[in-house]
A and B are shown apart, each in its own frame.
Chain A
Amino acid sequence: MTQFLQLLFQGVALGATYALIALGFVVVYRASGVINFAQGAMLLAGAYTISWLATDVGVPFLPAVLAAVALLALAGAGFQIAVLRRVSGEPTFVLVMITIGAGIAVTSLMEALFGTDPRLLGDPWGSTSFAVGDVTINWVKVWGIVVTCAALAAYFCFDRYTRWGLATQATAEDEEATLSLGVPVRRVHLITWAMAGALATLGGLFLAGFPASPQPSIGDAALRAFPAIVLGGLRSPTGAVVGGLVIGLTEVMTSGYAPSSLGDNFYAVAPYIAMILILLVRPYGLFGRAPAERL
């Protein structure tokens, strides 16, 4: 039972981080219909930026995180202006391919800049923890859940109560109609990419927290948030949260209970297998609907 509760906590904590990453995908997808395959690379860049500022430059941790969030938001916006704006109006196929290319370039650039060895994150929590009964609760995981909840709440407020949130919803619905109503659609895209950069940095922070550390493999871990968005349906923030939790729990539970006959590191592929099984039954995800098609 203790083991189950321990895994349950870890699963929820990992799920919260996946939800944060998944939200980054959903934000971009809702506004532009593009699945951002560069999200893993942005996340890696965010984690490395925090690590670099907090350990090499010597900035205190909180300002380092805020600076990294701002830098990555700028980078996301810059990518949108410099590259994606040139191909606006092309089929999504082209845009998605561009994010794949940009992703591999940035990931390799990070490896070239920071090497492949794990680095120190520079966070104040480290491996500190407290115990509830026999269950060990790590502070970094608690903060991960708190920050995820805060980010989700902020996004819901943005989406529901601000003009830009409304503009984003309209753009997601019909870009041309929105444009004809005088909404600056380009700026909507700019904002969503900046948000994706910021969310990726926070996701990277908690993926790189104890027991992991900033290293190239967390970019792959970010790709495991894909099953989360697919489960949740690509357009639904609520779905992102539920999908994130399902995938986080799946991964942690299989790491605890999967028989060794399934091979080493089975937990790393379990989310993908869960995803494919669910897609076989519900092709548009748990929360997605088949879109109406017009010719």
Chain B
Amino acid sequence: MPSNDPAEDELYQERILDHYEDPYHRGHAPHATHAHEDDNPLCGDVIHIDLEIDPAGKVKEAFFEGDGCCISQAAASMLIERFDGRTVDEIKQFTAEDMLSLFGAKLTPNRQKCCLLSWRVLQSAIYSPVGGAEGDAAKGKTCR
């Protein structure tokens, strides 16, 4: 895979490094109603997402916490920025393909897993109310 390929050179471009070094809403939502956490055991990347969803299905606040490679963390920051203030329905309609295009840079199949981790966590988070059995389990983990 030639790295002079412009797509490959995009991997560590400014926009991605900016999200990695200065992430959007890294931390925890103080009034989270939904939360989920998952990891890629093979590489150790881990992402936790907190959502505050109002009765109308609007995401009032979204935060993420995590640890891992530049791609996994930058992708989470982009995803949270994209859906903070949006609706649960919009999240449901957001496919893996959409996530890869949101990230932008072309990824090998191995690194696509890093990019899609936060997307998987977000898709589960909307079904994981805090205080429910699953929600408790998700909140119990600390991430880091």
Do the two chains belong together in a single complex?
A: no
